[in-house]
Structure 1
Amino acid sequence: MSAERVQCLSFHGRVSQLETVLRQHCNTVRTVVFDHAEVALHDTFGDRTYWNARRSMRFNLALHELAAQFRREYLNSTDEVDGTVREFNWTIEKCFLSFTPSSIQPMEGTRGGPFLSVHLRRKDFLWGRPKDIPSLKSASVQIDKLLRGLALVKAFIATDAPQEEFEELQSYLPKYQLFRYTPSKTVKETYKDGGVAIIDQIICSHARYCMNFNSRPRIEPRPPAQRSDTLPLDRQVTVKGQQS
């Protein structure tokens, strides 16, 4: 696509506001290109209906069962023991959070599984965001620190790293048991890469603590076990990438 004259406009706001802007500034324009249409928020974003819709969404039960099977077999984690049994009907599900004026605490009996989950991006992030992604050695140092602090010996690694990189990470953490979900041929053919990623997310959401390597460092101690399959993990620490 080419044009003799181009005018750019930066916008962040609601769709109804975008309509007003377009009417004011684009009356004589023949073509409008939205480079990032997702930036415009729908007018009911964040209201009660929006969050009810988010909470009502659940992942496929077959994916939940595959994740539960992996947790039972490798991570000594079940909903009954971890205190994360959920109502099938989301409208009667009780919150896993206890709110006080100064803090948000897990409800009594809600613990999460006895393992740390780690979201470690590799592949395209290595060249697309090299400053945000830690080396495997640096990642292992931070994982070791958190495992020791939480008195845990198992970690689930949700990563797109090739097997040789996963084995390298294991070599830096010989005192701990590291696991990753490797789908069978049948699971991969049935649910594709998207389904496998969801299984990873479900397993992570049941951990005692989640560690996320990201470009925006923040620490968010929250209770384990999500109220909704599509909400962010309820207990996570996000760490800025550090190269060693």
Structure 2
Amino acid sequence: MKNIILHKANTRGHANHGWLNAYHSFSFASWYNPERVQFGVLRVLNDDTVASGMGFGTHPHDNMEIITIPLEGDLAHKDSMGNAETIKTGDIQVMSAGTGIQHSEFNPNADHHTKLFQIWLFPKVRNVAPRYQQITLDTSDRHNKLQQILSPDADDAGVWIYQDAWFHMGNLDKGTTIDYNRKKVGNGLYVFVIKGSVKVDGQELEQRDGLGITDFDKVSFEATSDTEVLLMEVPMEQ
């Protein structure tokens, strides 16, 4: 029997710092909801808009898998491993923080905001050597299908992390139906609607809604408008 938990967009935490307008699907910084701490190993799903020329100063992380997905604009990244890169729409970046890293991120554009998701997963192994990976995806490969963008396997499609997790993105035309089959027994699936609307096993979701599903083998999607979705299959045990 499938279990679901619905997180409507307007129930997320919100903090507008002027330079940063952030929505939190799970407890983060000053926003704490005891019922919204994490979904399995998925600890953070932040929906951030960064003003032009602004960003996050150098700050530390450890023992976390940190995934950044730009939606609009660019994000300039520097870290203590010596990486200095710019990630753009269509890219995906991952850092395995492991024993500890420091990094900064800012919007290098003077005339355009940057929108991005930053996602944190607890790793399955602690204190690994920190690592950085960034790739550019062919977004046409997600038209009316699910494109794998992350997995546990360095030889598989997308980036890889130290966790038995799989992420997919899909751009679905209205009326498109598609199924997602679970990769690993015991994992849950967190569905996040980037834009548009979609029925997930008959449950209507709208832009920026989230839906957590456990105890499933297959999940069915029907796009009720042109829609863009992010699927995150993650272990439910840390």
* TM-score class normalised by the smaller sequence: under 0.3
TM, length-normalised to structure 1: 0.24
Greater RCO (Cα-Cα under 8 Å, separation 6 or more):
1
Structure number having the greater strand percentage: 2
Report the structure number with the largest CA radius of gyration: 1
